Amino acid sequence: MKGQTAVITGSSRGIGRTAAEELAKKGVQIVIVDINGGNAEKVAEEIKSQYGVETLGIKADISNSEDVKRLFEEAVKKFSKIEILVNNAGITRDNLLIRMKDEEWDAVLNINLKGAFLCSREAIKIMSKNKYGRIINIASVVAFIGNPGQVNYSASKAGLVALTKTLAKEYASRGITVNAVAPGFIQTAMTEQLPEKVKEEMLRMIPLSRFGTTQDVANAITFLALPESGYITGQVIHVNGGMYM
Ligand code: NAP
């Protein structure tokens, strides 16, 4: 993997940042992407000095096609090729269906699903030329089991699983594999905000009796990104402590 380049969306914190560090440890050049920007540059600098790989920090809203085009243009200008794309950026806007506002539905679908479509479209143009690529989409256990209050989020993640399988079929002949990782309950800013009662209920559903870490998810992402994982495509790796089998 040494010398390859990975674009990881939503990588200034949480799962994306740990995945970026894990790939950097293997000598992969990293493009950090977030929506606020300042932090992306800071994290890119930190990873460069810690792991000795070239990095780039870019502010881009992945739900905006102009931003996404610019993101990939800047990445290619610096690194010439992109071998790995991790569609990780995601948000929640939870509400019960009858209270859910149009804006809450649209924001989640636009970032979690359309964002992955836009980034994959740009990345695949670049990967196709080199007849090599690894795309890894970060879905969620709720795509498979549903979750009250998350009709928008669970639909977006189920859509991402279908997108994964379809792209896997469309681009297998170009040497590009497309897989998903479906995390369960992972300790990040996204889950910190949940009430203690909900967390206790969740824990009871997890056979391995602990919440996941960003490292648990990053390990699965790194595995799928390896050149040696080239016979795996259209699959979902569940990283959930057994809460869904
Ligand atoms: P997080 O800590 O909330 O971080 C989200 C990241 O996405 C941030 O870097 C954020 O940028 C970025 N982002 C948000 N909107 C964006 C946009 N429009 N354009 C570009 N970047 C954007 O998230 P996380 O908990 O690590 O989750 C990462 C992924 O795993 C998500 O897709 C999530 O749905 C999925 N997941 C998480 C869990 C969990 O338990 N945590 C479980 C299942 C699945 P800023 O820092 O600039 O805001």
Task: Clarify whether 244 is annotated catalytic.
Answer: no
Parse the chain into domains and list their residue ranges.
5-238
- The reply to whether 153 sits in an annotated binding site is yes
**Choice from 13, 72, 112, 163 to test ligand 1 binding pocket (greatest atom count within 8 A of CB):** 13
Q: What pLDDT sits at residue 37?
A: 73
Q: What is the pLDDT of residue 195?
A: 87
Residues of the chain with pLDDT under 70: none
Instruction: State pLDDT tens for residues 33-76.
Output: 999 877 999 999 999 999 999 999 999 999 999 999 999 999 99
**Ligand 1, atom 6: closest residue by C-alpha:** 10
Q: In what order do the strands lie in the sheet with 176-183?
A: 55-59, 29-34, 5-9, 84-87, 133-138, 176-183, 236-239
CATH number of 5-238: 3.40.50.720
The helix-helix angle for 151-171 and 115-130 (nearest 10°) equals 20
pLDDT of residue 203: 92
Q: Supply the pLDDT for residue 190.
A: 76
Residue 84 confidence (pLDDT): 99
Residue from 31, 58, 88, 221 to probe ligand 1 pocket by mutation (most atoms less than 8 Å from CB): 88
Report whether residue 135 contacts ligand 1, using a CB cutoff of 6 Å.
no
